[in-house]
Amino acid sequence: MPAFDFPQDLLDAQAAFDEVQAERDLFAQSLPWSTEPVPGWKADKQLHSDCRPEKDDSPGYTSEEAERLAGYRARILELTTFVLTHPYWGTLSGPDRVAARTALKHAHDTAGPAA
């Protein structure tokens, strides 16, 4: 893959996007399975299996949880818009633009320990 000379603000925005998305994903794992309070359920036994799917009651999201999740979504949208509309992309065309976008997504990947 060719090397690209990304502007620092574009690199910073991509790094911030990755960080906010990771924070949002971690936070979302702690949330109830439903945004609204709903009763749990237990399904019938699955064909050819002893699996019996079920969910406990969901208390729904608190207003603080919903607000925090909305904040993450707003920040992700802001960063996505910045990255996608950055003037740098106008300096590239065709396959180079696609390769550059892929390279930017992985620009902050850390390599494993040296062998």
Contact between 52 and 44 under an 8 Å Cβ cutoff? The reply is yes
83 occurs within a structural domain: yes
Whether the predicted pLDDT of 18 surpasses 80: yes
- Burial (CB < 10 A; 0-12, 13-18, 19+), residue 67, is exposed
Domain total of the chain = 1
17 occurs within a structural domain: yes
Give the amino acid at 64.
E
2 occurs within a structural domain: no
94 occurs within a structural domain: yes
Q: 18 lies in which domain range?
A: 8-35+62-105
66 occurs within a structural domain: yes
Give the list of residues 6+ apart from residue 32 with CB closer than 8 angstroms, or none: 58, 59, 60, 61
In this predicted structure, what is the pLDDT of residue 53?
86
In this predicted structure, what is the pLDDT of residue 110?
65
Query: 33-72, pLDDT tens digit by residue?
Result: 999 999 998 988 777 888 888 999 999 999 999 999 999 9
